[in-house]
Structure 1
């Protein structure tokens, strides 16, 4: 009986120590967001790919939270895209209609934790192929 009591006491104290040292479930994770600009020369009237990486890789409800990309075009028009994360990374294809500087603001706002935001700018050159249609 004495051995069982000692073993039980050890297990109870070990469990209490584990609970005391465990991270709090509601502790907010601080995320960092990195924008990956398009690679190469981008011409107007084409499609380009924007990429984003969120670290640490979100899990649980945060893992299903998309990154919101707010793009401002050279003429001031704005549009919003969403990119679903897969293992902390995402890509989204978007069309670029005019030459000039595009500015993209990328925001990751998980349900628990502080939102992370970054800004990326990229330049688009006038298309050497023209904009005529083949009709």
Structure 2
């Protein structure tokens, strides 16, 4: 088989052009979750606000993915919630049903990035009485 120098040159240039125009593989973004836990004394039977900050700020379809919360109450009951994100941050209000330690697992599983998970704990103390005596 005999090929001309021009044919080989064209084939080489075509191969180089197809490599240059091929989509490049990009690594998935690795996200981290920073949790804003309750500050101060948390009483049972009250609302507690928990916040999540996802960094770097997710964009595109990753930006519309919420953070999932799995809340384990002191008696072992498990509840789930979602935190919709706005510019990578969001909050959720949860009710503390009883005194004791609460464990909250925050999970962020975007379609194009690496999932992130972090755990926070806080304690709720018994609610003070109304101070009404009989």
Say which SS state the counterpart of residue 54 (structure 2) adopts: strand
> Corresponding residue for 2:67?
67
User: What is the TM-score of this pair, normalised by structure 1?
Assistant: 0.77
Q: Deviation at 1:25?
A: 6.3
> Corresponding residue for 1:12?
none
Quote the Cα distance in structure 2 between the aligned partners of 1:42 and 1:72: 16
Aligned Cα root-mean-square deviation (Å): 1.9
Count residues with an aligned counterpart: 111
Q: Deviation at 1:26?
A: 4.5
Quote the Cα distance in structure 1 between the aligned partners of 2:66 and 2:129: 35
Per-residue CA distance 1:88-116 (angstroms, 9 max, x = gap): 11100010010000000000000012100
> Corresponding residue for 2:82?
82
Quote the Cα distance in structure 2 between the aligned partners of 1:92 and 1:42: 15
Show structure 2 runs of 5+ residues with no match: 1-16
User: What is the TM-score of this pair, normalised by structure 2?
Assistant: 0.77
* Larger fraction in strand: 2
